């Protein structure tokens, strides 16, 4: 038997009041959160609590529907490498959300599971139900109230009671955006779900917001110090005209890492324009404040098989 559940997180302000939830059906779900946290913390906690709530069913496979490729790749792709490095990234800095990831690593030992990436806010029934409950938990904490923890599974409350008042590390700036790392595994036999038609205007707005968050995360030191993470953002035909006028592509970036030459990091982004081009392309124009220098940037993102990838970027220093 396979248990299919959606896991989702929410943060109001990101960081701010945060919630998490997993959902199987109206009789089997759980939610919780913190007075201060991030969306990524909520996404991870939802997955952790789902594993804990089903720990008494070790023979059952978990099919986890998740709209965060950051979470999927953290669990299925990057965690083994982080562990070998003492839970540090390739730049020597600690992994973000370390305690949650360690707890997930312990919880998945010996378990059968598979992740399926689903598009958020697109009418997916289970994903929408988890999102509603995660957002309700965050809203409750914003109002200074305890959220509805839900019925749990077979009377098992997972981690709800242990984490409702659990003190978590203050999130840093690098975790304040939804990190959609890419290349989520696709299950061989996904459970068919007929999504409700999405509002086109709302979907375009969600796509633009997603691209902005991806651009911000790609410019962060935590990502740009790790070749694997940088490459996960880039289209196979990626090209960039850098601020010094040089042409950069994937091969150039690999060579820079091999030569131990750090990539220039970003700064504060001031968005000038965000333009959707059809359903699967978004162009950003923004001013990047990097120290005392202001750089005008234009980036072009393309959705390929459900994943947003950076296809082209250009930087122009201002006088």
Q: In terms of Cα–Cα distance, which of 23, 4, 2, 29 is closest to 156?
A: 29
Catalytic (active site) residue 9: yes
Q: In terms of Cα–Cα distance, which of 121, 124, 138 is closest to 46?
A: 138
User: Of 67, 207, 213, 240, which is the active-site residue?
Assistant: 67
C-beta separation of 105 from 47 below 8 A: no
Catalytic (active site) residue 67: yes
User: Of 131, 181, 226, 315, which is the active-site residue?
Assistant: 131
Catalytic (active site) residue 43: yes
Catalytic (active site) residue 174: no
Say if residue 90 is exposed, middle or buried (CB neighbours under 10 Å; 0-12, 13-18, 19+): middle
Ranges of beta strands (E only) in the chain are: 2-11, 16-25, 28-37, 61-66, 113-117, 234-241, 247-249, 268-276, 281-290, 293-304, 307-317
C-beta separation of 32 from 163 below 8 A: yes
Catalytic (active site) residue 124: no
User: Of 19, 37, 121, 124, which is the active-site residue?
Assistant: 121
User: Of 32, 33, 43, 215, which is the active-site residue?
Assistant: 43
C-beta separation of 47 from 69 below 8 A: no
Catalytic (active site) residue 8: yes
Q: What is the C-alpha separation between 232 and 293, in angstroms, rounded? A: 28
Q: How far is CA 287 from the centre of its chain?
A: 24
Q: Pairing relation of β-strands 234-241 and 113-117? A: unpaired
Q: Which residues are catalytic?
A: 8-9, 43, 67, 121, 131
């Amino acid at each position: 038997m396979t248990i299919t559940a959606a896991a989702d997180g929410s943060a109001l302000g990101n960081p701010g009041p945060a919630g998490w939830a997993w959902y199987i059906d109206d009789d089997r779900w759980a939610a919780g959160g913190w007075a201060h946290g991030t969306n990524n913390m909520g996404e991870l906690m939802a997955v952790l609590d789902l594993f804990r709530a089903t720990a008494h069913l070790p023979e059952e496979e978990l099919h986890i529907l998740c709209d965060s490729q950051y979470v999927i790749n953290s669990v299925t792709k990057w965690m083994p490498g982080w562990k070998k490095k003492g839970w540090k990234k390739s730049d020597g800095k600690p992994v973000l959300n370390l305690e949650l990831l360690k707890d997930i690593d312990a919880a998945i030992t010996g378990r059968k599971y598979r992740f399926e990436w689903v598009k958020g806010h697109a009418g997916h029934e289970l994903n929408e139900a988890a999102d509603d409950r995660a957002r309700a938990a965050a809203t409750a904490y914003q109002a200074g109230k305890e959220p509805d923890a839900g019925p749990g599974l077979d009377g098992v409350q997972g981690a709800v009671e242990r984490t409702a008042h659990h003190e978590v590390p203050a999130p840093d700036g690098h975790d304040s955006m939804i990190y959609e790392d890419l290349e989520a595994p696709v299950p061989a036999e996904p459970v068919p779900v007929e999504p409700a038609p999405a509002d086109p205007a709302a979907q375009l707005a969600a796509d633009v917001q997603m691209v902005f968050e991806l651009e911000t995360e790609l410019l962060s030191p935590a990502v740009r110090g790790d070749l694997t993470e940088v490459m996960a953002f880039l289209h196979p035909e990626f090209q960039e005209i850098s601020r010094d006028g040089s042409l950069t592509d994937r091969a150039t970036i690999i060579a820079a890492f091999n030569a131990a030459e750090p990539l220039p990091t970003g700064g504060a982004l001031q968005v000038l324009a965000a333009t959707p081009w059809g359903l699967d392309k978004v162009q950003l124009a923004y001013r990047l404040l990097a120290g005392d220098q202001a750089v005008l940037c234009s980036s072009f993102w393309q959705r390929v098989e459900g994943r947003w990838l950076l296809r082209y970027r250009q930087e122009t220093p201002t006088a």
